[in-house]
């Protein structure tokens, strides 16, 4: 659970805020500087969103700065495509880095010089053991490691070999630069970790200028120091690496120096947030791509219609802690509904149409009803909705043999059409298979606008669209991508894809929407009254082929959970 709110700021007082408050009060720092350091080898997901909101949010809150720094130290997997997608995602979430966009590759020359300095201090050496031999020499948690036979080379020999590594004299895997720390250290990370390796691969920024590249643990802490980062915030999997982070900075005697703090990564039920597993979903075509609206990628939730404000609010509510836990995805969906309830215009859309003929409505007559886009918010404006003799209603709004508490349309029953008229079902038309294909109803002209003056009570109100004026639309109904609360919990011999939800996507091709929807731009979210929130697909929806993705249903399971918790 989140910690109590700070009475002054109204925001959750988590442990990183407490650390910053203490550092400022003690005069350790005067200006807060954070960074978001993604590796450009894939698309960002909700776990990254938590880190983005934390790092950029802290900078905003404390009038500090947050750098966007790409950790481009592994050219084998990186691409400019990912750089651009990451920048788009950060901007979409509402944050900006001004002129503080950096790359680890900006510092390759400085990082090389730092490595040379470690060699001169006798704290690094060039090793010729193979990767397999290095693993064998490192030992285990219960068995100490042993020194490489190349560990005691002279400073001069190491400098020469390292320079020749840079010059490209050696093949990949034949030489690495390792820190000289302690092969018997209980923390395996400190058993002479690799600092540089040979990669004869073209880099997306530096081309072929380099054939040796720093390891993340070496480049990351030094990049923080170069940029003057004060609080280097990362997830808990790096807690064992913090001693190496400190060793590099302390050995090079850098001051002032950054400090690393770890927080628990985001875990969501019914969701996987592993980049490797998300890649598998895409490559094996379980989804249509990285931006499939079922994916927990930022591009996926953006295409589904999630508001950036809702994601920021979600990240604030779950707060930051040091303990791993799993967050109920219902909370994220609740934040989405809360946001859209205030911003999404209301329109009429029928997903599973059933034709209604109003037999006593003149064939040549049409009405136009002015309806608000948002009840109780005049600033949202209105639109004109045409009405005619033939309309569509939702098929599940009619029941031939209705139970007593069914307040929608049934034979002989009267209902209200939203903002239009009262109608009564007089006749049910069926096909040769007994399927209901049409209803014949009568209307009361005195109830124009959807109200009567005689005081009679009508409990059911239905949404509708005019057959003549409505537009065809394709609607995609999305559910959780996984049917299991913990997708990683599987039977022996299976993998997480065995928990994929076969009903995660339902495509409806015969939907009808009111004419005003044609003016909606791709990416715009509206509420189809009584049906949910829907987003005009940013890739495929056009005025001539409307495509809507269901962002969220109207049913709020999180509100129900919270209500039950209070009982």
Active site residues: 39, 265, 275
Q: Please tell me whether residue 383 adopts helix, strand or coil conformation.
A: strand
Q: Dig out the tokens for 411 from the structure.
A: 């034979």
Q: Which residues pair with 369 in a beta bridge?
A: 385
| Cα 74-78-83 angle, rounded to 5 deg | 125
Q: Where are the beta strands (DSSP E) in 202-341?
A: 212-214, 231-235, 259-263
Q: Dig out the tokens for 243 from the structure.
A: 């001693």
Contacts of 359 (CB under 8 A, 6+ apart): 426, 440, 441, 442
Q: Dig out the tokens for 513 from the structure.
A: 């929407």
| Cα 547-549-550 angle, rounded to 5 deg | 140
Cα–Cα distances (Å) from 567 to 331, 437, 555, in that order, read 19, 46, 20
Task: Answer whether 159's CB lies under 8 Å from 166's CB.
Answer: no
Q: Where are the beta strands (DSSP E) in 236-372?
A: 259-263, 346-347, 349-350, 353-358, 367-372
Which helix (H) or strand (E) covers residue 222, if one does?
A: helix 216-227
- Cα separation, 470 vs 525, in Å, equals 19
Cα–Cα distances (Å) from 342 to 88, 175, 312, 418, in that order, read 25, 60, 16, 21
């Amino acid at each position: 659970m989140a910690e109590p709110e700070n009475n002054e700021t109204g925001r959750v007082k988590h442990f990183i805020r407490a650390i910053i408050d203490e550092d400022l009060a003690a005069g350790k720092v005067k200006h807060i500087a954070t960074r978001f350091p993604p590796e450009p080898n894939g698309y960002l997901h909700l776990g990254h969103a938590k880190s983005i909101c934390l790092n950029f949010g802290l900078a905003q809150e404390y009038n500090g700065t947050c750098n966007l720094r790409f950790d481009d130290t592994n050219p084998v997997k990186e691409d400019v495509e990912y750089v651009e997608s990451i920048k788009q995602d950060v901007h979409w979430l509402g944050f900006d880095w001004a002129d503080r966009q950096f790359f680890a590759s900006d510092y390759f020359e400085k990082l090389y010089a730092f490595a040379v300095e470690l060699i001169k201090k006798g704290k690094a050496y060039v090793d010729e053991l193979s990767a397999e031999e290095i693993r064998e020499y490192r030992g285990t948690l219960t068995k100490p490691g042993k020194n490489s036979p190349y560990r005691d080379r002279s400073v001069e020999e190491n400098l020469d070999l390292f320079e020749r590594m840079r010059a490209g004299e050696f093949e990949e895997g034949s030489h690495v630069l390792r820190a000289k720390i302690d092969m018997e250290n209980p923390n395996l990370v400190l058993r002479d970790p690799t600092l540089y390796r040979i990669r004869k691969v073209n880099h997306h920024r530096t081309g072929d200028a380099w054939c040796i590249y720093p390891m993340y643990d070496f480049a990351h802490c030094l990049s923080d120091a170069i940029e003057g980062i004060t609080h280097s915030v990362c997830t808990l999997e790096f807690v064992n690496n913090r001693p190496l982070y400190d060793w590099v900075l302390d050995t090079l005697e850098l001051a002032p120096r950054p400090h690393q703090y770890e927080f628990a990564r985001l875990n969501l039920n019914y969701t996987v947030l592993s980049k490797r597993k998300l890649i598998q979903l895409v490559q094996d075509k379980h989804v249509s791509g990285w931006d499939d609206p079922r994916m927990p990628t930022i591009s996926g939730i953006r295409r589904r219609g999630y508001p950036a404000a809702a994601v920021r609010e979600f990240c604030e509510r779950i707060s930051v802690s040091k303990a791993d836990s799993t967050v109920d995805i219902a909370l994220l969906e609740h934040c989405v509904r809360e946001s859209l309830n205030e911003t999404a215009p209301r329109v009429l859309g029928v997903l599973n149409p059933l034709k209604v003929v109003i037999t006593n409505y003149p064939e040549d007559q049409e009405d136009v009803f002015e309806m608000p886009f948002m009840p109780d918010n005049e600033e949202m404006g209105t639109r004109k909705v045409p009405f005619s003799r033939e309309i569509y209603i939702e098929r599940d709004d009619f029941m031939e043999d209705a139970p007593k508490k069914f307040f929608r349309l049934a034979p002989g029953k009267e209902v209200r059409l939203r903002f239009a008229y009262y109608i009564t079902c007089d006749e049910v038309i069926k096909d040769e298979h007994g399927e209901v294909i049409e209803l014949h109803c009568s209307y009361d002209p005195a109830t124009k606008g959807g109200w009567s003056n005689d005081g009679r009570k009508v409990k059911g109100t239905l949404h509708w669209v005019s057959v003549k004026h409505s537009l065809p639309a394709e609607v995609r109904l999305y559910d959780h991508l996984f049917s299991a609360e913990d997708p990683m919990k599987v039977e022996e011999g299976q993998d997480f894809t065995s928990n994929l939800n076969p009903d995660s996507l339902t495509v409806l091709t015969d939907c009808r929407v009111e004419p005003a929807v044609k003016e909606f731009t791709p990416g715009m979210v509206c509420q189809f009254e009584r049906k949910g929130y829907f987003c005009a697909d940013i890739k495929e929806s056009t005025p001539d082929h409307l495509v809507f993705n269901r962002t969220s249903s109207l049913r709020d399971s999180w509100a129900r959970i919270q209500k039950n918790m209070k009982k």
